[in-house]
Amino acid sequence: MSDTPSTSVTSSRTVQIAAVIDVVAIVVFVMLGRKSHHEDGSFAAATLRVAAPFLIALVAGWVVARAWKAPTSFNTGIQIWLVTIVGGMLLRRFAFSKGTATPFIIVASTFTLVFLVGWRMLWEWRAARR
């Protein structure tokens, strides 16, 4: 799937919506992970602490992909996902001193692929049907 005319010229509202969806995807990933591991602690603080490396990497992904130009395109999603997962894991391991066990990398990569790229696939599919 390539950038379509509807994703080439993007309104600031579409950029904002895409950014919010991406942030929500990362936060949901962290919330589900914390819940599945029965982690305690302050909900907001603990969630932010776990999400921080991935949110930082998400911002980097947006910059690398220049996502504001075509925030809903599949190609943009792939670029954002790659930077988010690689950058998030590196930050988590080296800057935040947290684990990056192989099963975690697999689950995190799969979840973020489905959520950061999946909604863009649906968006493009819907736009093509119009």
Q: For the segment 48-107, what is each residue's pLDDT rounded down to a tens digit?
A: 998 999 999 999 999 999 999 999 999 999 999 999 999 999 999 999 988 889 999 999
Beta strands in the chain (DSSP E): none
How many independent structural domains does the chain possess? 1
pTM (2 decimals)? 0.86
Examine residue 70 and state whether it is found in any structural domain, yes or no: yes
Contact 28, 115 (CB under 8 A): yes
Examine residue 1 and state whether it is found in any structural domain, yes or no: no
| 1-56 per-position pLDDT tens digit | 444 444 445 799 999 999 999 999 999 999 998 776 666 667 788 889 989 999 99
Euclidean distance between CA atoms 40 and 44, whole angstroms: 11
pLDDT at 3: 45
Examine residue 88 and state whether it is found in any structural domain, yes or no: yes
Examine residue 46 and state whether it is found in any structural domain, yes or no: yes
Long-range contacts of 13-18 (CB under 8 A, 24+ apart): 14/71, 14/72, 15/67, 15/68, 15/71, 17/71, 18/67, 18/71, 18/72
Examine residue 22 and state whether it is found in any structural domain, yes or no: yes
Examine residue 15 and state whether it is found in any structural domain, yes or no: yes
Examine residue 2 and state whether it is found in any structural domain, yes or no: no
Comparing 123 with 10, the larger pLDDT belongs to 123
The parent domain of residue 43 ranges over 7-129
Examine residue 13 and state whether it is found in any structural domain, yes or no: yes
Where does the pLDDT of residue 114 fall: very low under 50, low under 70, confident under 90, or very high at 90 and above?
very high
